[in-house]
């Protein structure tokens, strides 16, 4: 047997796309699921893992003139964190505990200080009035975190979609905005690292953004013809832009697929994810001027996709 033949029989471990992974937890079932899923995806790579919990002001001691000398809240949190990671085999996980009334800002600060490459979150996927009332730390972090964020929603079932660590099919959903531009290099790197099938998707709305371009007072048949003409031209332009996304000379193990759909954004992305049975959705999250205010906007596209996707969603702020 030659050396070349011997090497081809050695399983090739995936490269480390994210050398330092930070997992945020509030001790909920959702964050526990995110921890397990992230470790499953990492397999036996040498990635460094840290887990962070942000202590909130404890009202039980805030009014006491002589608070207890021992920080009981911190002790309790440390015990819970150790309990979470004690069953993780062959993996050292560094514990990070900080106290800050603003969870997202505290996590973002640790990301900057510790050179974190990926933040992992679990979310319960609250929506509507509940989300408006309670806010969403997860969605705030999507826009505030200085690194990519991988979110595991309540329907993300990694165990049933993956056959071993890594990703086998990746859906890159783009609106051609700043977030998408920032997410593309990482998407290509992941596709190469995992030898994954890459699907590039752009959704166009079912109707033009301004209905004034259509003949409002024209007969129904004429308006339908104009709408069809608009959709055909828009689809053609979008397909050209999708193909131009990949830099010249881009080499992937599998030929990429380009898809232009006509639907509202969340539904279109989720439908495509199910159709292609992808195990990762990548999309840009355009930064907002006030991340905390943006996180309280109900039914946003990012929140809808994260809360309903059957796979993790990787967002890159731009």
Sign of CA dihedral 161, 167, 168, 170: positive
Query: Cα separation of 28 and 33, whole Å?
Result: 9
H helices of the chain, in order, are: 3-8, 29-42, 59-62, 72-85, 103-114, 128-134, 137-144, 158-161, 178-193, 220-245, 265-275, 291-294, 301-308
Question: Mind listing the pLDDT tens digit for each residue in 153-204?
Answer: 888 877 666 556 678 999 999 999 888 999 999 999 999 988 999 999 999 8
Please check the confidence at residue 278 and state whether its pLDDT lies above 70. yes
Contact 142, 302 (CB under 8 A): yes
Cβ neighbors of 205 (< 8 A, separation 6 or more) are 262, 264
Whether the CB-CB separation of 14 and 63 falls below 8 Å is answered with no
72-85 and 29-42 helices cross at what angle (nearest 10)? 40
In a 13 Å sphere around the CA of 299, the CA atoms on its Cβ side amount to 5
In the predicted structure, residue 91 carries a pLDDT above the cut 50: yes
CA separation, residue 90 to residues 86, 162, 221 (Å): 10, 21, 67
Within 8 A by CB and 6+ apart from 162, the residues are 40, 41, 168, 279
Note the pLDDT of residue 32: 86
Using alpha carbons only, give the angle 183, 269, 144 rounded to the nearest 5 degrees.
40
Whether residue 206 is predicted with pLDDT greater than 80 in this model: the reply is: no
Q: Which of 179, 149, 167, 180 is nearest to 246 (CA)?
A: 180
Q: At 259, which helix (H) or strand (E)?
A: strand 257-262
d(CA 268, CA 188): 22
Write out pLDDT tens, residues 2-28: 334 433 343 444 467 789 999 999 888
One CATH from 3.40.50.12370, 3.30.1490.20, 3.30.70.20, 3.40.50.720 for 15-60+71-317:
3.40.50.12370
Residues above pLDDT 70, as percent of the chain: 73
Residue 176 tokens read as: 């051609």
Give Cα 128 distance to the centre of its chain: 20
């Amino acid at each position: 047997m030659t050396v070349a033949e011997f090497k081809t029989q050695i399983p090739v471990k995936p490269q480390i796309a994210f050398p330092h992974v930070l997992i945020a937890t509030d001790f909920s079932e959702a964050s526990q699921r995110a921890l397990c899923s992230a470790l499953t995806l990492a397999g036996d790579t040498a990635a460094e893992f840290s887990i962070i919990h942000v202590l909130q002001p404890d009202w039980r001691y805030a009014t006491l003139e002589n608070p207890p000398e021992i920080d009981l809240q911190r002790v309790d949190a440390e015990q819970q964190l150790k309990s979470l990671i004690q069953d993780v085999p062959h993996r050292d996980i560094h514990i990070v505990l900080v106290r800050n009334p603003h969870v997202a800002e505290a996590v973002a600060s640790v990301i900057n200080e510790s050179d974190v490459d990926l933040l992992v979150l679990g979310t319960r996927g609250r929506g509507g009035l509940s989300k408006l009332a309670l806010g969403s730390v997860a969605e705030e972090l999507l826009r505030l975190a200085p690194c990519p964020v991988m979110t595991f929603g309540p329907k993300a079932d990694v165990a049933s979609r993956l056959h071993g660590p890594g990703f086998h099919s990746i859906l890159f959903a783009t609106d051609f905005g700043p977030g998408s531009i920032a997410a593309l290099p990482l998407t290509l790197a992941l596709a190469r690292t995992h030898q994954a099938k890459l699907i590039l998707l752009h959704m166009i709305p079912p109707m033009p953004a301004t209905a004034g371009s259509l003949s409002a007072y024209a007969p129904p048949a004429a308006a339908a013809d104009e709408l069809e003409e608009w959709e055909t031209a828009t689809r053609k332009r979008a397909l050209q832009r999708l193909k131009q996304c990949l830099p010249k000379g881009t080499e992937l193990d599998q030929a990429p697929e380009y898809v232009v759909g006509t639907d509202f954004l969340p539904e279109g992305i989720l439908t495509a994810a199910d159709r292609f049975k992808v195990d990762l959705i990548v999309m840009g999250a355009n930064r907002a001027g006030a991340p905390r205010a943006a996180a309280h906007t109900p039914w946003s596209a990012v929140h809808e996709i994260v809360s309903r996707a059957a796979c993790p969603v990787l967002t890159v702020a731009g």
